[in-house]
Amino acid sequence: MELRPATSNRIPFYLAFAAALAPLFSGAVCNILIALAVVALVVYRVPLRVPRGVLLPLGLFAALTLIATLTSADPWLGRTGMRKFYLFLLPALILATFRTLAEVRALVYSWTALLCASSLWSLVQFAKKYQQAKALGRPFYEYYTGERITGFMSHWMTLGGEQMNIVLLIAAVWLFYRKRHWMLAAIAFILVALLAGYTRSIWLGTAVGGLYLIWNWKRFAVLLTPVPLILLVIANPADIRERVKSSFAPHGDTDSNQFRVICRRTGAEMIRAHPWLGLGPEQPRVQFEKWIPADVPRPLPSGWYGHLHNLYYHFAAERGIPALLAFLWFIGRMLWDHVRGLRHATDEQKAVLHGAIATTLAVLFTAYYEVNLGDAEVLALYLSTMALGYLATGQLDPDRRQFLDA
């Protein structure tokens, strides 16, 4: 299916394609490729393309973030909040340069292959950590929980966020469009690595997105989903059962859930005192000690207190409640556009759209437990996925006025 008129040179497309792949191994490379792709678009006079419906909420979010930065105690430190808006060029590049759904499919397949390589490396890391724990005579669960597998990334949450996104996309392609044995094998392999990551919020987010996909594929199959989960807990490979139990019965300070409660309560204090513009980007980290409620006992439970471990609290504490609402409006508008696109979609379009919707639902759920879209690589991948959803609607006909060329 043709999405864009042909241009005389495909260099902008190749650069945009590479930039969309780069978050799976390097945020810095992604940034460089975005810049090169923008230069190529200027040289070959290819306009950026942006869905009209997202411009107002995204513009409001950016403006409120800028105001929160300028009015904060340290505007220079807060510049990192504005820097990430650079990544919003990536979906515009994808929309401007991709011509066919075959190219959309090629990107999803390339993501899957690269993530399988990253997941393979993460399982090698897992085996090494298991051997290290054994050599030290320490319980594996205690040794591993604090320093988990990362694949090609620098943190297990980043790897888990990418795995959740891509496994839902390739599962949607398999369920709704094209069933290939290699896809099923890739899904299974990524899920094994995802489980080995021990990241409970990612497990739950993937389950939420997966249930959405299964419900829209064959609703009766939803009734069967508890079976493999129960079998997994019974088999208990690599202490998976202990990690599941830790959600409601933590192993002391090893995986205390209490520190997240403290983060949310501290964030609530920040929001209560600064509801309109927040403290400014990065200020919740700098000022965290100041805002801890007086009744919280010391010492604090083990955990990383560099952010609030909840996207909603964190954005409101950093930038104010209006900025958070603008951001949710932006996400909600994309979700609405993708749901609406299902009405007249072909099977291939439905596959991409269902994958984008499932990813959004998973991201919104996981955001309660992590500042997931504050991670540059996860944000870049998510925005690229949303761009593919817009491409799959087939609404690039100028008569529909869905997109703004700039």
Q: In percent, how much of the chain has pLDDT > 90?
A: 84
Q: How confident is the model at residue 161 (pLDDT cuts 50, 70, 90)?
A: very high
The answer on pLDDT for 204 being more than 70 is yes
Q: Where are the domains of the chain?
A: 55-84+98-252+313-405
Buried b (16+ CB within 10 A) or exposed e, 348-362: bbbbbbbbbbbbbbb
Q: In percent, how much of the chain has pLDDT > 70?
A: 94
pLDDT tens digits, one per residue of 259-277: 999 999 999 999 999 999 9
User: Which range, of 34-43, 72-81, 229-238, 321-330, averages the lowest pLDDT?
Assistant: 229-238
The answer on pLDDT for 326 being more than 80 is yes
pLDDT tens digits, one per residue of 66-114: 999 999 999 999 999 999 999 999 999 999 999 999 999 999 999 999 9
Q: How confident is the model at residue 164 (pLDDT cuts 50, 70, 90)?
A: very high
Instruction: Tally helices (H) and strands (E) across the chain.
Output: 19, 2
Average pLDDT value for residue range 172-199: 96
Angle at 337 between CA 333 and CA 338, to 5 degrees: 120
Would you list the DSSP string of 163-214? HHHHHHHHHHHHHHT---HHHHHHHHHHHHHHHHTT-HHHHHHHHHHHHHHH
- How far apart are the C-alpha atoms of 350 and 332, rounded to whole Å? 19
Helix, strand, coil % (nearest 5) of the chain? 70, 0, 25
Q: What spatial distance separates the first Cα and last Cα of the chain, rounded to whole Å? A: 24
Per the CB < 8 A criterion, the answer to whether 330 and 54 are in contact is yes
